[in-house]
Amino acid sequence: MPLDIQAVRGILPRGGTILGSSRTNPIKIEGGVDRIKDNLAAGGVDALIAIGGEDTLGVARQLFDRGVRVVGVPKTIDNDLSGTDYTFGFDTAVNIATEAIDRLHTTAESHHRALICEVMGRHAGWIALHAGMAGGANVILIPEKPFDIDRVCEYVESRFRTRYSPIIVVAEGAHPVEGQMALQAGELDSFGHVRLGGIGEVLAKEIEKRTGKEARTTVLGHIQRGGTPTAFDRVLATRFGLQAIDAVHAGDFGTMVALRGTDIVRVGLDEATSELKTVPVSRYEEAEVFFG
């Protein structure tokens, strides 16, 4: 599809994709890489700009190793790519989750229940950390720090003692310290990732059992990935786009555009994808100050 003015008019406030592309693993498909090369050649495409997270950009890196001229753009709600301070999509997801938590406070003021809000983020707790802090959560549970269910129940009870309902924000990848609770194993996708989701329900049952208080779960799921992007994400995506085109013109392939402070820089796709950027202990400790 030639991306002329008519084709891209009106996409600024839209989320998702006008191309209809989605995360898929061509390396797992026989002859997948050759088909990509043939299609690029047939379409007269000089360079490929891959926009996505660790999976998409991991494939982009492998395509570059196999001779495809690729530049990456970091886009994922998970914010878990190394080399960039932020990925676009993250701020939108955080704002949607924060608004949901704000709305849960209304129920929290009148009902005596523990309210659990499960957010996405895969193996990184960024969305939970930011939305939980912004939304004034009673406790935030992230994959980087296995939680102690006894401690969580103490926080829950202390919040009840202040005549308010506890709001617990749990990342889909969060898990208890080994052996504390039975968890379900999900199916694997084509990148070998387990399909996450469901920890909120498990947690609710456990809190009810241990505290005798009713616990309810809200799973935000794909709501967090849809709809109109925030101004921050629109500006970031636009700047990434400009810089990605510059990288192509400069012939700087195998790189990803990245945000460092307020500047856009280029980093190697290998640096961006070899290790996940997870929440550092010090950031979690800041949030912990407000638990209970």
Active site residues per annotation: 78
Phi, psi at residue 25, to the nearest 5°? Answer: -115, 90
Phi, psi at residue 219, to the nearest 5°? Answer: -105, 115
Binding of ligand F6P by 143 (CB under 6 A): no
* Positions 199 through 238 that interact with ligand F6P (CB under 6 A): 225
Give min distance, CB of 224 to ligand F6P, in A: 7
Residue from 75, 122, 266, 277 binding ligand F6P (CB under 6 A): 122
Of the pair 113, 123, the CB lying nearest ligand F6P is at 123
Stretch of 62-70, 98-106, 116-124, 203-211 contacting ligand F6P, by CB under 6 A: 116-124
Of the pair 120, 264, the CB lying nearest ligand F6P is at 120
Of the pair 77, 133, the CB lying nearest ligand F6P is at 77
Of the pair 161, 222, the CB lying nearest ligand F6P is at 222
> Number of residues in contact with ligand F6P, rule: CB under 6 A?
11
Q: Are strands 263-268 and 255-260 parallel, antiparallel or unpaired?
A: antiparallel
* Positions 56 through 95 that interact with ligand F6P (CB under 6 A): 76-78
Give min distance, CB of 195 to ligand F6P, in A: 6
* CA-based torsion, 107, 108, 112, 117: positive or negative: positive
Residue from 58, 74, 83, 121 binding ligand F6P (CB under 6 A): 121
Give, in degrees to the nearest 5, the angle at Cα 269 between 126 and 44. 120
Residue from 33, 48, 49, 53 binding ligand F6P (CB under 6 A): 53
Q: How many CB atoms lie within 10 A of CB 54?
A: 25
Q: Residue of minimal CB distance from ligand F6P?
A: 120
Give Cα 66 to chain centroid, integer Å.
28
Give min distance, CB of 153 to ligand F6P, in A: 27
Residue with tokens 């002329």: 4
113 dihedral zone (left: phi>0; alpha: psi -120 to 50; beta)? beta
- What track of x and - describes contact with ligand F6P for positions 182 through 201 (by CB under 6 A)? -------------xx-----
Phi, psi at residue 111, to the nearest 5°? Answer: -100, 145
Give min distance, CB of 152 to ligand F6P, in A: 22
116 dihedral zone (left: phi>0; alpha: psi -120 to 50; beta)? beta
Of the pair 87, 165, the CB lying nearest ligand F6P is at 87
User: How does DSSP classify residue 188?
Assistant: B
CB 160 within 8 A of CB 212: no
Residue from 94, 100, 120, 141 binding ligand F6P (CB under 6 A): 120
Of the pair 51, 120, the CB lying nearest ligand F6P is at 120
Give min distance, CB of 104 to ligand F6P, in A: 20
For 217, the token pair is 């779960």
Give me the residues paired with residue 263 across strands. Answer: 260
Helix (H) or strand (E) holding 35: helix 32-42
Helix (H, G, I), strand (E, B) or coil at 276: strand
Site residues (vs ligand F6P, CB under 6 A): 53, 76-78, 120-122, 172, 195-196, 225
